[in-house]
Amino acid sequence: MDTMETAEISEISTIQKLENLLLVAVPRDMTDSDVLSLRRQVLQKARRYHSHWVLLDFSRVDICDSFFGRFIQSTARMADLMGANVIVSGLQDMVVETMVELGMTLSNIQAVLDLDEALALSRKSQTDSASISQQESDEQEKEASPADSQLERSTSIDMPLETRSEV
Amino acid sequence: MTEKTKEQLVNELAEARDRIAELETSEAELKQKEQELRRLGLAIEQTAEGVATADLEGNIQFTNEAWAAMHGYTVEEILGQHLSMFHTEEQLKNEVTPFNEQTLAKGQNKGELGHVRKDGTTFPTRMTVTVVKDDAGNPLGLMATARDITEQVERQAALRESEQRFRGLYESSPLGIILNDYETGDYQEANDAFLEMVGYTLDELNQLSYWDLTPEKYSDQEDAQIRSMEESGHYGPYEKEYIHKDGTVFPVVLNGVVTTDNKGRKLIWSTVEDISERKRAEEERERLQQEVIEAQKQALQELSTPIIPIMDRIIVMPLVGSVDTMRARDIMRRLLAGIREHRAKVVILDITGVPIVDSGVADHLNKTVQAARLKGARTIVTGISDAVAETIVDLGIDWSGIETLSDLQTGLVVALNSLNVKLSKA
Amino acid sequence: MAEESSNRLEFSIKELPDVVRARRRGMEAAINMGFHPAEANKVAVVISELGRNIEQYAGEGTIILLTHTGENRHIQITAEDQGPGIPDVDRVLKGGYSTSQGLGLGVSGSKKLMDEFEVRSVVGKGTTIRAVKWLR
C-alpha cells in the first residue's frame, strides 16, 4: 500500500482513477513542495493503476504562471516516460489568453475542453486499438451511421465526477 | 405873567436836554430794533422753508415767497385769506382739524399734513405750527413753517414697495435664500425654502454657521469661494453638499453676493438650489447612456464577429473587416467563449472578409489558434486568397502550425471528416 | 467633477504564500478598478512571476500595487529587492519562452503582459521592476 499519503494537498479527491484515466484535479495556489508532492503521487498512482492516460484538470486554477507551465511540462515528460499520455483539460478562458500571450502554448501536450472529452478520447483510443483489425471490414457499417455512433458514445457516458469548464 | 426865573429856565432846559437824550437813545434803540426786524424779515422772506403767520382764527397775516410758491400762488393772492385755503375739504376734516387741536392744546405741533395747490393738486408737507405768545403768555397768533415732502414720500413709498416685493420673493421663492455673517459664517436669516431644505428651524439655524452644514471635504472649495468674494464681491455658481439635520447629505448649488448692513457689518446673501433631483436625473441619464453604449458595442461586436454553430461540435467564425489589436483580443475572447458554449471541437475561422493580413494580424490569428487548441478545439483557417498567401510567405510569417484551406466549403468537409461525419445526398 | 485617487497596497515577500496573497489581491484590485477579467488575470500573473523571482533569487523583497482611478486609470506593480541583481537585463527582456529559464522567463513574460515595463538592476545591490497596465 501507499505509505506516502497526501500531505500538503488536503483534498482527498485530488487524484482519482476513472476507467483507464487518472484524473488529477490540480489545486490552485500550490507551493513548490505541493508541486513535488503532487507530482510524486500522480506518478505513483499512474503506475499502480496502469493508467494509459493522465488528465491534468485545471478548472480550479485561475492564475497560471510560468511555474505552472513548468509543472505541466515536467509531469508530462515523467508520465510519458512511464508510458502514460498526459492530457490537460479545464483551462479557463482568461488563463488560456494569458498563456498564449506569454508564449506558453504547451504545443506538445494534448488539450481537451473537459472531463467528458477526456473520457471520450480515452475510450475512443481503446476502441480504436481493439478494432484495428476489424477496421477495413467494418468501414461500410461506419459510413452508414457515423453520426449515431458518435452521438451514442457521447451520451452514454455516465459520470460520477464531472468537471465543467468555467470562465 | 409870571416871569420864570433864570433857574427855572435852566432846569427846563436841562430837562428838555435829558428828554432829547432819552428820545435819541430810544430812537437809536428803535433803529437798532428796526434793523434787527428788517434782518429777520429778510431771513424769513428769503428762506426756502415756507413760513406763514395768521391770527388765532386762522386769517393769514403774512406768507413768505417760499410758502406762496409752494402752493402755486403769489403773495398778493394769499393776503387776507384764511389758512384753510391751503387744504381740501377732506384734508381739513381728516388731518388739519386734529392737528390744530393738538397745536392749541400743546402750544406747538409738528407733523405731516396734506396741502392743496392753486391748480388743485395735493401734496404732502412737513409742518411745524407754533402758537406765538406775548411775554405774559397770552396767545397772539399762529406761526407755521412748511416743507414740501413730495419727494421724500415718494421715495419712502418706493422703498416700501420694493421691500414688499423683495419680501414676497424671499418668502415665496422655491430657492433657498440665506444671509450669513461674512466673518463668522453664522446664519442671520433664512427663508422657508431653505429651512425646509436643511430640516432646521430658524432658531436652530441661528445657532449655527454654514460650517456646521458643510461636509469637511469642501474646506478647500469654501476657501476658494471666500477668495472669489474678496476679489469680486460675489461667488458662484458653486456646487457643494449640505448636511441635513437628519444627517443625510444632498447636493446643492450656491450663488452669493457680499453686502454691508447699515452698521458697516459685512454680510453674504446667497441663493441655494437643491440639485438632488437634477443630479439623480443626470446620473440616471449617464447610466442609461452607458448601457446603450455597452449594448451597442456588444451588438456591433456580435454583428461583426458572429459565431455560427454548424452541426454538433463545429462552429464557424467568419471575420469581416480589418483586425487591429483591440479587435483581435475581442475576437479571441468571443471565440473561446463560443468554443466553451457550443463545446466545439472544430473551429472554422474564415478570413475571406479581412482586407489586410499583415504580420500583426497573422500574429493575432496565430495566438487565437493556439488558444482554441488549449480549449480542445482544432482550428482551420479558410479564405486565404493568393495575395494573402503571398504576403504571409514574403513577410516570413510562421504559420506552419496553422491549418489552412482555401475556402469555407473545403474547411467544412475536413471538419466533418474529422468528427467522422459524412454527409450523403438525400 | 472627476475624482482622482490612488490606492496603495504593499506586500512584504518572504515566502510563496506571500506571493499567492499578493497576486490574489492584485487581481481583485484590478477587477474592482474595471479591468476585464482577462486583463486582471495578466496582472495577477505578473505579480506571481515577479514575486516568485524575489522569493527564489533574493530571499525577500516588496511588491507594491498602486491603483490610480480618475482620468488615466491604471495599475502599477513595483517589485523591489536587495538581491543579487540581474547581470544582463537586455538579454533577459528579449528572451522568449523557449529560450529562457526561471528568472528570465518570469521577467520577459511579464513584459509581454504589461503596457509599460522598466527594469533597474545593479549586480550585488538589488533589483526594482516597475510595470504599468492602462485601462483602455
Q: Which domains does chain C carry?
A: 5-134 (3.30.565.10)
Task: Give residue C106's Cα distance to chain centre.
Answer: 10
Of B190, B197, B221, the C-alpha closest to B274 is B197
CATH 3.40.50.970 at B305-418, yes or no = no
Domain total for chain A?
Answer: 1
pLDDT score of B288 more than 60: yes
Higher pLDDT, C108 or A145: C108
> Which architecture, in CATH terms, is B173-279?
2-Layer Sandwich (3.30)
Q: Indicate the average pLDDT of chain B.
A: 89
Asked if A67's CB is within 8 angstroms of C38's CB, the reply is: no
The pLDDT value recorded for residue A138 is 59
The three-state secondary structure class of A121 is helix
Q: Average pLDDT of C90-95?
A: 78
ipTM of the modeled complex: 0.88
Asked if B337's CB is within 8 angstroms of A89's CB, the reply is: no
State the cell numbers at B40.
429777520
* CATH code assigned to B43-153: 3.30.450.20
Distance CA B112, CA B122 (A): 13
Q: Chains meeting A at 3+ CB pairs closer than 8 A?
A: B, C
Distance CA C105, CA C49 (A): 8
Asked if B239's CB is within 8 angstroms of C1's CB, the reply is: yes
| A contacts of B370 (beta carbons < 8 Å) | 100, 105, 107
pLDDT score of A109 more than 90: yes
| A contacts of B400 (beta carbons < 8 Å) | none
Q: Indicate the average pLDDT of chain A.
A: 77
Distance CA C61, CA C11 (A): 9
Higher pLDDT, B13 or B210: B13
Asked if B373's CB is within 8 angstroms of A111's CB, the reply is: yes
| B contacts of A142 (beta carbons < 8 Å) | 420
pLDDT, tens only, B252-277: 999 999 999 889 999 999 999 999 99
Residues sharing a CB contact under 8 Å with residue B65, sequence separation 6 or more, in sequence order: B45, B46, B75
Asked if C44's CB is within 8 angstroms of A66's CB, the reply is: no
Please state whether B311 falls in left (phi above 0), alpha (psi between -120 and 50) or beta. Answer: left
Query: In this structure, is residue A60 part of a structural domain?
Result: yes
pLDDT score of B203 more than 60: yes
Distance from CA of C135 to the nearest CA of A (A): 17
Query: In this structure, is residue A5 part of a structural domain?
Result: no
Give yes or no for C98 touching B (CB within 8 A).
no
Domain boundaries, chain B: 43-153, 173-279, 305-418
CATH number at residue A76: 3.30.750.24
From residue B297, give the alpha-carbon distance in Å to each of A34, A52, A65, B307, B334.
Answer: 44, 47, 32, 16, 13
Asked if A93's CB is within 8 angstroms of B340's CB, the reply is: yes
pLDDT, tens only, B333-354: 999 999 999 999 999 999 988 8
| B contacts of A165 (beta carbons < 8 Å) | 340, 375
Asked if C42's CB is within 8 angstroms of A101's CB, the reply is: yes
The type of residue at A77 is: R
The three-state secondary structure class of B184 is coil
Structural domain of residue A104, as residue ranges? 12-116
| B contacts of C113 (beta carbons < 8 Å) | none
Asked if C41's CB is within 8 angstroms of A94's CB, the reply is: yes
pLDDT, tens only, C109-131: 899 999 999 999 999 999 999 99
| A contacts of C97 (beta carbons < 8 Å) | 66, 69, 102-104
The closest CB to that of B333, out of C1, C38, C136, belongs to C38
Give yes or no for B420 touching A (CB within 8 A).
yes
State the cell numbers at B413.
468537409
% of residues, chain B, pLDDT over 90: 58
pLDDT, tens only, B216-248: 899 899 999 999 999 999 998 999 999 999 989
Residues 301-340 (B) with a CB less than 8 A from some CB of A: 312, 332-333, 336-337, 339-340
- In terms of CA atoms, which chain A residue is nearest residue B312? A151
Distance from CA of C118 to the nearest CA of A (A): 18
| B contacts of A117 (beta carbons < 8 Å) | 343, 345, 376
pLDDT bucket at A167, cuts 50 / 70 / 90: very low
The pLDDT value recorded for residue B422 is 67
Query: In this structure, is residue A142 part of a structural domain?
Result: no
Of A21, A29, A47, C88, the C-alpha closest to A10 is A29
The pTM of this model reads 0.56
Residues 119-138 (A) with a CB less than 8 A from some CB of C: none
| Sheet containing B314-320, strands listed edge to edge, beginning at the edge strand earlier in sequence | B308-310, B314-320, B346-353, B378-382, B403-405
- In terms of CA atoms, which chain A residue is nearest residue B417? A146
- The answer to whether residues B301 and B334 touch, using CB atoms and an 8 Å cutoff, is yes
Distance CA B309, CA B424 (A): 20
